[in-house]
A and B are shown apart, each in its own frame.
Chain A
Amino acid sequence: MSLQTPKHIDNPSVLYMDGVSVSFDGFKALNSLSMVIAPGEMRAIIGPNGAGKTTMMDVITGKTRPDSGTIMFTDNHKTEHDLTRFDEADVANLGVGRKFQKPSVIESLTVFENLEMSLKGGRGIWQALMHKLTAEKAQKLDEIMEMIDLTDKREELAGNLSHGQKQWLEIGMLLGQEPQLLLIDEPAAGMTDEETMKTAELFKRLAQKHSLMVVEHDMDFIEALDCKVTVLHEGHVLAEGSLATVKANPQVIEVYLGR
């Protein structure tokens, strides 16, 4: 699929970004950003407003085309894909799931229907028209609802859920897609402390099977995730390491934590 074989092939990665730059009207939203996510890794991304976190997710998921740089994604079958050549639907079907900051579930459909729609496969018109729920899929849906704690809300309209439950439903929809890589934008926003801790637990469980990239402002949440942290600033990586190391970095303190 890919034209060139990157050097890191013996050092497997799910996502490999090298020198990615994007500018909007002269403003450099991403400035030669490089990052590698390993299979099964959980990574927290922090950074002040305007650091390029959302733009980074946009270029990975095909919403925005980078001006330059490489973004390679390795799927389950060890095939590499150049993500800069695909659009949102393609990238999603390759195995990259994305959760928005604002919970975006389909409010006028039920919890069950939301999840059913997310299930992997059957994206074509005809398949959607003739779709039948198989026992296997029904079981998968039950598992997901169990995992996100919404089994008793199965027939509830998504619009009637609480904010935290919507966030969980959206995470459940990501799981239905069976992605290798999950991009998650501020999952703890608007959650109670208890929900936040439950979410952190869920992510830790997920990280065994998927790779996760979590953008978050809530330091308690990141501490609970207990994973490697990348600090973005002005469109590139300022520091990388454990939360403690990053917190101690004088540059980081200056641009972010110190303010």
Chain B
Amino acid sequence: MTQTQQLGPLTRLLMNDAAGRKVLLVLVLMAIFIPLSNLLLPEGSFFHVSTYTMTLLGKYLCYALLAIAVDLIWGYCGILSLGHGAFFALGGYAMGMYLMRQIGDRGVYGNPELPDFMVFLNWTELPWYWLGFDQFWFAMLMVLLAPGILAFVFGALAFRSRVTGVYLSIITQALTYALLLAFFRNDMGFGGNNGLTDFKDILGYSLQSDNTRAVLFVASALALILGYLLSRFIVTSKLGRVLVAIRDSESRARFLGYRVEHYKLFVFVVSSMLAGVAGALYVPQVGIINPGEFAPINSIEIIIWVAVGGRGTLFGAIIGAMLVNYAKTYFTGAFAELWLFMLGGLFVLTTLYLPKGVVGLWAQLKEKYLLKKQKALLVSPQDQSSVATEGVTGSEPSAGEKA
């Protein structure tokens, strides 16, 4: 124990996390080489990464951060939120409002104070809740506070009333749906159906330039790395073990003297803020935020990413988000109408055959192999050597290929 305390904080966080270290290394390499290759290599070069690809990958990184946020509450604390897309969208809207204010008088109507949609609605002045969003620092504060405060109020009510399990899932779903309907209304002042778009620049730098895109990509990678480390810090602390206790046996945690509702609230708020940051980095890269981001299906998709990757392993959430979104990009291009069926099928298959996700596949196959070997030993102890080698050639290589 004293040895542990002498190590640096980063080493301590990643000490027993070999897979996480690998994922972080890949992220760091991506953050360095993808922007460099985009900016420095000529377009014809084999190693050139196009701006389109870089932006697409940047989007995946935001999704991965969102997946970590969900894994933190679902994988570790057992809170199945089917409304986390709402926190992502709120962070996105906060960033979108800043980007709208950056347009200034370059809009279609040329009004220096009001965004186009407000001019179109014949509004004469900026609503009070838009004040301050011309300041970057204020908008960034709101990226954290808007999801954080909503999560706090919602969580305080739900967790104090001991709403758990499927009931909690249903009301989180209702929450995001209610926000969807609200943001669709023009008089809410968030651009209604069309949302916020036509962004020009961020902090004075054009969003169309490759340099800005590269910086946004690096920022997304950094946010993901920091989000991972923060989550890792939480789950490896004693607080993380209390979360697991709440997940596995809530009443035991209570009778041990832990205030379950406070712990749930804490991790729910942290998670909502991570989701908000992910949304804020997503919006300048895709160039639009509209009420569609609140759609219940989006929140359900996040659950699928985490389940496919491996619930309760933070690096698994990253891998799951990347894999499923890559598949989505590919299949919505190739067989658009089939994608939702495939997504549903993926979830069913994961639940049935991969309870620990793709990152648990290796361990799962190894366990199966050992069990088979044990059985074989029990059946015929005299030719155990031949059975064992048969087992090796039979299942081990296929396990290696799949993993």
Contact = CB atoms under 8 A, between A and B. Distances in A.
Interface of A: 61, 87-89, 92-93, 97-98, 100, 104-109, 113, 116-118, 122-123, 125, 128-133, 138, 173, 177
Contacts of A108: 244, 248
Given A89-B260, A109-B241, 13 more contacts: A104-B251, A108-B248, A109-B245, A117-B241, A117-B242, A117-B245, A118-B256, A125-B239, A128-B238, A128-B239, A132-B5, A177-B256, A177-B257
Given A129-B238, A129-B239, A109 B244 contact: yes
Interface in B70-121: none
Interface string B1-33: 100010000000000000000000000000000
Nearest to B233: A129
Contact of B257 (A89, A116, A129): A89
Interface string B241-278: 11011001101101111111011001000000000000
Contact of B248 (A98, A106, A123): A106
Contact of A123 (B1, B241, B258, B266): B258
A127 to B, nearest CB: 8
A116 B241 CA distance: 10
Nearest to B246: A106
A112 to B, nearest CB: 10
Nearest to A61: B255
A106 B251 contact: no
Interface in B311-335: none
Contact of B259 (A104, A122, A123): A123
Contacts, number: 72
Interface of B: 1, 5, 234, 237-239, 241-242, 244-245, 248-249, 251-252, 254-260, 262-263, 266
Contacts of A123: 257-259
Contacts of A128: 237-239, 242, 263
A105 B256 CA distance: 11
A106 B244 contact: yes
Contacts of B241: 106, 109, 113, 116-117
A58 to B, nearest CB: 11
B265 to A, nearest CB: 9
Contacts of B251: 88, 100, 104
Given A123-B259, A125-B266, A131 B254 contact: no
A93 B257 contact: yes
B158 to A, nearest CB: 17
B248 A130 contact: no
B255 A106 contact: no
10 contacts: A104-B249, A106-B248, A117-B245, A117-B256, A125-B263, A129-B234, A130-B237, A131-B238, A138-B1, A173-B256
